[in-house]
Amino acid sequence: MAMLIVSLRSRYTIKNITWSLIFWDYLITLDDEITLFWSSRRSWIKFLFFANRYIGLLLRVWNIIAMILGIIFGRPNPSLESSIARKEDFLYHLYVNMPESFQAFEACLVSVDSGSVIYVSMQLLVIESILVLRIWAIMGKRRWVLWTFCGLLVCSTATSIMLSVHFFFFAPIVPIVDDMTVTTTWLYAIPTLLFEAIIFGSAAYHGIKASGGLRPLLLRSKGPFRYGPKPILRLVFQVSSLNMYTSDPQLGITIMSIAANYMLLGLRKNVLSDPVGPSLQGVGLTTLRFTANRALSSEEGETAMTIGSVPQGS
C-alpha cells in the first residue's frame, strides 16, 4: 500500500516536471520562433516544427484541464487512506458514468488520455519525420534515401500502433511486488528503436565515409569548425526515443520534442550568424560540411555555394 502511494506521488512529481519543462521552454524560445520561423517560407520543415512544438504544448494544457476536472468530479479511492489517492483526472468520472461495458471505457480512455497510443504515436511520427528529413539532408538529399527512410518510418509506426493496441487490450498484467504491477506494453517500442538504430547507423557510416575515415573525423571535430558529422550525430542521439523509454513516457517524449526543436532552431541560428551564407528565407535543413578539398560549403536543394579554402590558423 505504501509503495503504491509513493508511486502515485512520483507520478505527480514527474507530471509537474513535464509541465514546467515544456512551458518554460516555450517561453524561453518564443522569441527565436518568431525571428526564425514566422517570416520564413512555407515548407515541410516549418510545418513539422510547429506541429512538434504545439502538439506537445496542447496535450500538456489538456492534462491540466483534466486534472482540474478530476478535482471537480473525482471521488476518493476508498481503498487508500490518503488524499493523494484521489483520481488524478476525470477518467474516474467517465468510468463511473459509462455503461457497464468495460470495453467502452477502454475505448474512451484511449481517446481522452494524452499518454495513449494515439497521441504518443502522433508525436513520435512528427519527431521521427524531422529526423528523416535531417538524415536526408546529411546524405546529400538523394531521392532514394528519402523514400527509403519514409517507408521504414511508416512500417515502424504502423507496427508500434498494432503492438500497442494488442497489448493494451490483451496483455496480461504481471504482479511483481505486493500491489505493484507491470505490463508488457513497453514492447511496442521495439520497432521505433530499430528504426532509430538504422538512422543512427546510416548517419555514422555517411559521416565516417565523407570524412575519409575515422581518424580525420576525430581530428576535424577538435578543430575550429564544428560543422562535421560529430555534432550532427550527437543531436540525432539526443532526439532518440531512448529518452522516452528510460523515463516516464510523457516526460521522455517532451525531452525528445524539445531536443528536435533546438536542433532546428540551432540550424537556422547558424545560417543567420553567417554573413556570407544563404538568406534565412531560403533555408530549410541547410547542411554545413567540409568538402574533400577542405572547403566549407553550404547546400540547399540543388544549389551549392563554395566559400573557398579555409585559411591557415583561422
pLDDT digits (tens, 9 = 90+) for 218-239: 665 554 444 445 555 555 555 5
In a domain, 166, yes or no: yes
Q: Is the pLDDT of residue 306 over 50?
A: no
Query: Which of 171, 198, 197 is CA-nearest to residue 186?
Result: 171
Distance in angstroms (rounded) separating the CA atoms of residues 37 and 42 = 9
In a domain, 202, yes or no: yes
In a domain, 57, yes or no: yes
Q: Is the pLDDT of residue 151 over 90?
A: yes
Query: Which of 161, 180, 44 is CA-nearest to residue 110?
Result: 161
Q: Is the pLDDT of residue 5 over 50?
A: no
Question: Which of 17-26, 110-119, 242-251, 304-313 has the least mean pLDDT?
Answer: 304-313
Per-residue model confidence as pLDDT tens digits over 99-117:
555 555 556 666 666 667 7
Phi and psi, residue 180, nearest 5°: -85, 140
In a domain, 314, yes or no: no
pLDDT given for residue 51 in this prediction: 93
Domain enclosing residue 206, as ranges: 2-309
In a domain, 113, yes or no: yes
In a domain, 167, yes or no: yes
Q: What is the tally of structural domains in the chain?
A: 1
In a domain, 257, yes or no: yes
